[in-house]
Chains A and B, each alone.
Chain A
């Protein structure tokens, strides 16, 4: 006999949604068959790439340069804290 929705136990609801999820997203078949192509050349290419400087490093450098240009009096303060 089916229980009314509001009387279902939490675990039962969880099991139903888990089952629904498995139906919606079936497990990947034979995932460890591996990629279709050899990825070693791409790995080597990635290793040879020069690391890019993050944009916020450039922003910080620009801000610091601007500060030194517009407020030269701040140079001794900066040197004191370095």
Chain B
């Protein structure tokens, strides 16, 4: 957990540019990493990190130092990533570039063919963005439910429900393609 002095947080809330830069330097890696986990594309994650800090600066007057900066920044980053996902068209067989941006699994299950993994990844891009975020953070990245809930602005139970719905839609999509998970 990154700690920030109350003085810096208070100065940031009052619009001090030096405090904002200090917070950027301290939290940029965590914000970038959180966004990368969601969008899974380093170049887009960089753009969204800039967008997130712009939104953070714009909302400085609404910041409550008592609630901490990290969770607040994570929530803004999640919403920026969600907006980005909404603008993206689902990947197709011909255009699966975003899926190729990150390395393949090092410990692939030999019982699951590369083709099934590819179909699953493509089907995942067809899920509604809100369900995708919940599933990728909770299932793939195995982030704590409380952190995911806080980032999405919903309860832990609602996160579990979104994950359940995401997995059910994914299974139905794969079954339509003739794949029995």
| Nearest chain B residue, comparing its CB with the CB of A43 | B53
Q: Give the interface size bracket for B toward A.
A: 35 or more
Asked if A33 CB lies within 8 Å of chain B CBs, one says: yes
**Are the CB atoms of A24 and B124 closer together than 8 Å?**
yes
Interface of A (DSSP majority class): helix
Interface of B (DSSP majority class): helix
| Nearest chain A residue, comparing its CB with the CB of B99 | A25
Q: Least Cβ distance of A25 to chain B in Å? A: 5
Q: Which of A22, A27, A42 contacts B50 (CB 8 A)?
A: A42
**Are the CB atoms of A25 and B140 closer together than 8 Å?**
yes
Q: Give the interface size bracket for A toward B.
A: 20 to 34
| Nearest chain A residue, comparing its CB with the CB of B104 | A26
| Nearest chain A residue, comparing its CB with the CB of B55 | A46
Interface residues of B in 83-133 (CB under 8 A from A): 99, 102-106, 108-109, 112, 116-118, 120-121, 124
**Are the CB atoms of A39 and B120 closer together than 8 Å?**
no
